[in-house]
């Protein structure tokens, strides 16, 4: 085992910056079996990519991701590009024997996700590790919730409620982006943020969604073409040409779990006043847990075994050394932030490469999420008829 893992990061946007920060930070706070080295970053524009390399700490930049993957001095390929490019990059990296981190959703359709999962399985047999970036799994409070569920603290699970609410598209004049183009994004809100809720629910419960009944809505059918001076959430110039929106603005569906639990899911980018409200609550026969990312260091826990006069949700501050990940950071009571999730993700990935812990979520896990996304789309297209999730029980 080498002592370093040399990183090729593909993508210079928001998520690429988050991943770069994580690679830099991980060895400074965690004892790791290997040390990440920021070797090369790849982007489409030479000048912007060179500037990103200088700002983010990469030794080199390139506009040819294929050349980066082919290099013998690259160990890890980290994919932070739009969904329509994930498969080509990941499959090439796996074929080249690289470890692969890929942002979610894994692909834009089930067949492609299955192909990527099969390639990752084959690569793992040759020693190459692959992980899909469902970063919310690395929230200490949610990791604590999973521990409680695994220990049986809630008993039989009966209800799962998940909401992911954003509002950055609530203004009809917010400019068009690639996230509103089905050919690039696959789905809209459903795959962008709803995928997080699906993964979190299945991961926390350890149970698979086996069927759904769904509704999808597109409230704004076209948007002005993005001006180069307008950022995400801004307004385009007056009179700008408009582009047709080909994805959903909002998704809502009920879900059945293999173990019998009932799920209710909502995802939208049109919930005015909600910048990033990621919520989940799970009710069992002996208790409940509830989480809201707006209070990301807190987990609410209800124990039905408490005496009648003391029953109620208690708030657990998930920043004690005993809580997952928290012991590597600040003194108790000093909370973590969004960026820490990506550092924890990098830590888990590097440890898995070294054989210290299982890799999760795998590409196979991510392909199961893709199956749920596909079933939701199929149900919505058929007036909310109940659709079984293909392969959910496998």
Concatenated DSSP letters of 125-160: HTT--EEEE-GGGG-HHHHHHHHHHHTTTT-SEEEE
Write out the two tokens for 99.
């470890």
Please tell me the distance from the alpha carbon of residue 64 to that of residue 372, in angstroms, as a whole number.
Answer: 34
CB atoms within 10 A of CB 191: 29
> Are the C-beta atoms of 108 and 369 separated by less than 8 Å?
no
The CB density around residue 183, as the number of other CB atoms within 10 Å, is: 12
Q: What is the dihedral of CA 228, 84, 251, 273, to 10 degrees?
A: -30
Degrees to nearest 5, angle at CA 144 with 392 and 199: 25
For residue 341 the two structure tokens come to 């999730």
Cα separation, 249 vs 234, in Å, equals 17
The residue behind tokens 């700490």 is 57
30: Cβ–Cβ under 8 A, 6 or more apart, which residues?
328, 343, 347
Tell me the whole-structure pTM to 2 decimals. 0.95
Question: From first to last of its 394 residues, what are the pLDDT tens digits of the chain?
Answer: 569 999 999 999 999 999 999 999 999 999 999 999 999 999 999 999 999 999 999 999 999 999 999 999 999 999 999 999 999 999 999 999 999 999 999 999 999 999 999 999 999 999 999 999 999 999 999 999 999 999 999 999 999 999 999 999 999 999 999 999 999 999 999 999 999 999 999 999 999 999 999 999 999 999 999 755 444 555 666 678 999 999 999 999 999 999 999 999 999 999 999 999 999 999 999 999 999 999 999 999 999 999 999 999 999 999 999 999 999 999 999 999 999 999 999 999 999 999 998 899 999 999 999 999 999 999 999 999 999 998 654 3
- Cα gap 34→1, rounded to integer Å: 8
Q: For the chain, what are the domain ranges?
A: 4-136, 139-388
Which pLDDT value is given to residue 392? 55
pLDDT score at 393 = 43
Which pLDDT belongs to residue 230?
45
Beta strands 277-284 and 157-165, pairing class: antiparallel
* 379 burial level (CB within 10 Å; 0-12, 13-18, 19+): buried
288: tokens are: 């409940």
Q: CATH topology for 4-136?
A: Rossmann fold (3.40.50)
The domain 139-388: what is its CATH number? 3.30.360.10
Sign of CA dihedral 378, 179, 242, 43: negative
Q: Tell me how far apart the alpha carbons of residues 28 and 345 are, in angstroms, rounded to a whole number.
A: 14
**Residue 27 in contact with residue 67, Cβ under 8 Å?**
no
Partners of 266 in the β-ladder: 163, 252
């Amino acid at each position: 085992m080498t002592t370093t893992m040399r990183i090729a990061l593909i993508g210079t946007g928001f998520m690429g910056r988050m991943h770069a920060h994580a690679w830099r930070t991980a060895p400074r706070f965690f004892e790791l079996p290997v040390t990440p080295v920021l070797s090369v970053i790849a982007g489409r524009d030479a000048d912007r990519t060179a500037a990103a390399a200088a700002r983010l700490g990469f030794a080199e930049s390139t506009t040819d991701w294929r050349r980066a993957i082919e290099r013998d001095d690259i160990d890890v390929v980290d994919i932070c590009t739009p969904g329509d490019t994930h498969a080509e990059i990941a499959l090439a990296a796996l074929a080249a024997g690289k470890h692969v981190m890929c942002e979610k959703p894994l692909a834009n359709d089930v067949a492609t996700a299955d192909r990527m999962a099969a390639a990752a399985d084959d690569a793992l047999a040759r020693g190459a590790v692959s992980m899909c970036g469902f970063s919310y799994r690395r929230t200490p409070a949610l990791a604590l919730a999973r521990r409680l569920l695994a220990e049986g603290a809630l008993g039989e699970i009966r209800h799962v409620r998940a909401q992911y609410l954003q509002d950055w598209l609530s203004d009809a004049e917010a400019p068009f982006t690639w996230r509103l183009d089905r050919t690039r994004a696959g789905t809209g809100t459903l795959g962008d943020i709803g995928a997080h809720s699906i993964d979190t629910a299945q991961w926390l419960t350890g149970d698979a969604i086996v069927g759904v009944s769904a509704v999808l809505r597109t409230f704004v059918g076209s948007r002005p073409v993005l001006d180069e001076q307008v950022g995400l959430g801004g307004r385009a110039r007056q009179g700008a040409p408009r582009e047709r929106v080909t994805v959903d603005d909002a998704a809502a569906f009920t879900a059945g779990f293999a173990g019998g639990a009932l799920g209710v899911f909502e995802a939208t980018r049109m919930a005015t006043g909600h910048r990033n409200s990621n919520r989940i609550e799970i009710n069992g026969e002996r208790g409940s847990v509830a989480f809201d990312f707006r209070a990301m260091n807190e987990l609410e826990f209800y124990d039905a075994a408490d005496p009648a006069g003391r029953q109620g949700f208690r708030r657990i501050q998930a920043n004690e050394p005993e809580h997952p990940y928290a012991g590597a950071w600040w003194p108790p009571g000093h909370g973590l932030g969004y960026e820490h999730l990506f550092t924890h993700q990098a830590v888990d990935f590097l440890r898995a490469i070294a054989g210290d812990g299982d890799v999760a979520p795998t590409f196979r896990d991510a392909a199961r999420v893709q199956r749920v996304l596909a079933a939701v789309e199929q149900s919505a297209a058929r007036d909310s008829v109940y659709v079984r999730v293909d392969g959910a029980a496998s």
